[in-house]
């Protein structure tokens, strides 16, 4: 078990990629603090897991004090912190000129951008205090590296996550801390599964396997990145997009 005796805090851990990662980490031997704005749902997850392997923590990642408290809750429950997975996020989209900043910009920045900043800050301070190093993994997106339809605010927040990761790796290396960002493509999470079959088929066609990525496939990568096997992966953007960023559209080629 590659994460034996590790303690992790996973934000957005009650559903989607976060939930899949919680289960993977525990299967790999870790103890996990499941941090989610829906603490009741997080507790339901805990109740289904091996007793003593996880605790539920309520957190609004847009508030530094709550993120700091979540870190402390993980330490109080399991004695230390080794990994934080800054995964909590929201999605949404609207054409730029139709946006209401209070609705379409500010919440996205507070959760998807500020929430990651607070996670890096709070975990980094705990890692320094412990003197044992640690790993910071943050969820960016394919949209963090490119323009796309209806994603002005979302792309900005996810691009910030990439910049945060590189700077955190640079600044925290002296404390034995690694920082890595992942960029998922089209993942079959509750956010995407609510859409029509036609739209989901379009999403699937944008990836090389012509299907949506399962949350468990992302979790497998995150578990590796959190492990000592990934010690040389630092300050890096790891694409977990099944080739989404490789191409735009398949073409029906003429016969030459």
pLDDT on residue 176: 98
Assess whether 170 carries a catalytic annotation. no
Q: Is the pTM for the entire model greater than 0.75?
A: yes
17 and 40 Cβ atoms separated by less than 8 Å: no
Percentage of the residues of the chain whose pLDDT score is greater than 70? 99
pLDDT on residue 247: 81
Q: Which of 118, 154, 170, 244 is catalytic?
A: 154
10 and 35 Cβ atoms separated by less than 8 Å: yes
Q: How far apart are CA 225 and CA 232, in angstroms?
A: 10
Give the model confidence (pLDDT) of 51-60 as tens digits: 999 999 999 9
Q: How far apart are CA 74 and CA 7, in angstroms?
A: 8
Q: Give domain limits for the chain.
A: 7-238
Give the model confidence (pLDDT) of 204-224 as tens digits: 999 999 999 999 999 999 999
Mean pLDDT across the chain: 95
Q: How far apart are CA 187 and CA 111, in angstroms?
A: 19
Q: How far apart are CA 158 and CA 83, in angstroms?
A: 20
Fold of 7-238: Rossmann fold (3.40.50)
Kindly list the distances between the CA atom of residue 44 and the CA atoms of 37, 49, 50, 97, 216, in Å, as whole numbers in the listed order: 13, 9, 12, 41, 19
pLDDT at position 104 over 90: yes
pLDDT at position 233 over 70: yes
Kindly list the distances between the CA atom of residue 43 and the CA atoms of 35, 47, 78, in Å, as whole numbers in the listed order: 10, 6, 17
pLDDT on residue 256: 66
pLDDT at position 90 over 70: yes
């Amino acid at each position: 078990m590659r994460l034996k005796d590790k303690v992790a805090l996973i934000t957005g851990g009650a559903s989607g990629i976060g939930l899949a990662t919680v289960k993977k980490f525990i299967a790999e031997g870790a103890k996990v603090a499941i941090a989610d704005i829906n603490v009741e749902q997080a507790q339901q997850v805990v109740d289904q897991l091996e007793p003593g392997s996880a605790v539920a923590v309520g957190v609004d990642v847009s508030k530094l004090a709550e993120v700091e408290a979540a870190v402390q809750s993980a330490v109080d429950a399991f004695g230390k912190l080794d990994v934080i997975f800054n995964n909590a996020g929201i999605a949404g989209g609207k054409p730029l000129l139709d946006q209401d900043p209070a609705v379409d910009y500010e919440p996205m920045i507070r959760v998807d951008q500020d929430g990651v900043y607070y996670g890096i800050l709070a975990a980094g301070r705990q890692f320094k205090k412990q003197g044992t190093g640690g790993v910071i993994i943050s969820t960016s997106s394919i949209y963090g590296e490119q323009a796309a339809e209806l994603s002005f605010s979302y792309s900005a927040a996810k691009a910030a996550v990439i910049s945060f990761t590189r700077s955190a790796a640079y600044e925290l290396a002296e404390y034995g801390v690694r920082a890595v960002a992942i960029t998922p493509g089209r993942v079959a999470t509750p956010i995407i599964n609510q859409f029509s079959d036609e739209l989901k088929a379009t999403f699937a066609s944008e990836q090389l396997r012509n299907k949506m990525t399962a949350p468990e496939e992302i979790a497998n990568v995150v578990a590796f990145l959190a492990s000592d096997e990934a010690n040389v992966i630092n300050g890096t953007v790891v694409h977990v997009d099944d080739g989404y960023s490789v191409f735009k559209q398949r073409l029906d080629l003429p016969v030459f």
